[in-house]
Amino acid sequence: MWRRSASGADRSRAGLGWLLRRIGWLLGSLVVAASAVFLLLRVLPGDPAVTLLGIGSSPEQYDAVRRQLGTDRPLLAQYVDWFGGLLTGDLGEGLFTRTPVLDQITERLPVTLPLALSAFVASALVAVPVGVLAAVRRRGLLGVVLSGLAQLGIALPVFWLGILLVWLVAVRWRLLPPGGFPRVGWRDPGGAVESLVLPVLTLTVAQASLLIRYVRSATLDVLHQDYLRTARSLGYSLPRALWRHGLRNGAAPVVNVLGVLLASSLLGTVVIESVFALPGLGTLLLSSVQARDLPVVQGTVFLMTATVLLVGLVVDVVQRLIDPRLRGRA
């Protein structure tokens, strides 16, 4: 049983040191992200008080609203508030709804998380075998067709595909609801699943197409490696040699893309949720941007950024698990 060599405590200690440093980086990035999100929103045009009041209000009304919203206070004080809140897990309150931002976000998660995660898992499950097949059969008809389909999937705009599916499946065939989400949420599991099928399908097509290309090129790379030739010279068939040596070696670049994909599927929900009228994080973000509800925008964007950074950390850890050579390095 020769698994990878786990040569003792010094190695795992080095790994721990690396992990701590990496987490330190993550925290630093979060601080930068929090500041950037805050500053960007103040720099961008649009005043929530104006939005709230509409055109034609008096300066007195305007000042009062600004005081009420807290947007009249010095930038530094607002920044300190925002930061202090973050440390205690308080993202502030929405300007208009007066409900905690965190609650608004967690309310939306039961829609967005299942959507993003199942699309992610489905893309991976589809793309890995298809990508490998496209690489192995690259000279045959099958490989050309698969690559072509992937190319098409990348070229199609997500919203257009979504609309097409709605028209076909929901409007013409009346198989699934065209959009929306059960008012009672997951307490109506059948309804919830039904309303997520089309969005997940749409997102999966878009993401799997992209992933197929990466899996294909990672597999091609492995196919051209000397060690694969060595394996074949020892009597392994091409599929067995690929299984034995390709899986792990090909995984490294693919895991990187998976990380990017997971992060982008979270951001991709903005478009998908609008197309399918789903009350998720994406629509929350969109509506609060339109309303200039700064705390909500701020909180949502920060949370998405934090997720992306965290996914990056996970990717790095997985990379080191896959490739022990990385562990020698600091």
Partner 1 sequence: MTILAAEDLSVSAPDGTLVSGVNLRLDAGDRVGLIGESGSGKSLTALALLGLLPDGMRASGRVVVDGRDLLGRPDREWRRVRGRTLGVVFQEPLTALDPLMPVGRQLTGPLRMHHGLNRADAEAEAVRWLARVHLPDPARLARALPHQLSGGQRQRVAIAMALACRPRVLIADEPTTALDVTVQAQVLELLGELVAQTGVALLFISHDLPVVAGLARDLVVMRHGRVVESGSVDDVLRRPRSGYARRLVRSALAVTRLAGQAVPAGPEPTAAAAPERPAEPGSADQPKQTAQPTAAGDLILTGQHLTRRYPGRPAPALDDVDVNIRAGTSLGIVGESGAGKSTLLRLLLGVDRPTSGQVRFAGQPLDRVDARDFRRQVQVVFQDPRSSLDPRMSVASIIAEPLRSLRLAPNREERARRVAEVLTAVGLHPDDGRRYPHEFSGGQRQRIAIARALAPRPRLLLADEPVGALDVSVRQQIVDLLRELVDRYGLTLVLVSHDLAVVSQLCAQVMVLRDGRVVESGATDRVLTEPADAYTRMLLSAVPRLPSDLEPLSDDGRVDPGRDVPASTLVR
Closest CB to partner 1 among residues 13, 229: 229
Contact 224, 136 (CB under 8 A): no
Q: How far is the CB of 188 from partner 1 (least distance, A)?
A: 47
Closest CB to partner 1 among residues 21, 248: 248
Which stretches of the chain bind partner 1, using CB under 8 A? 1-5, 139, 225-227, 229-238, 244-245, 248-249, 322-325, 330
Closest CB to partner 1 among residues 51, 225: 225
Closest CB to partner 1 among residues 186, 243: 243
Q: How far is the CB of 252 from partner 1 (least distance, A)?
A: 9
Q: How far is the CB of 245 from partner 1 (least distance, A)?
A: 5
Contact 93, 239 (CB under 8 A): no
Q: How far is the CB of 70 from partner 1 (least distance, A)?
A: 50
Secondary structure (DSSP) of 131-192: HHHHHHTTTSHHHHHHHHHHHHHHHS-HHHHHHHHIIIIIIIS--S-SS---TTGGGSHHHH
Q: How far is the CB of 258 from partner 1 (least distance, A)?
A: 18
Largest Cα–Cα separation, the chain? 86
H helices of 172-293, in order, are 189-223, 226-233, 238-241, 247-275, 281-290
Closest CB to partner 1 among residues 225, 274: 225
Contact 312, 261 (CB under 8 A): no
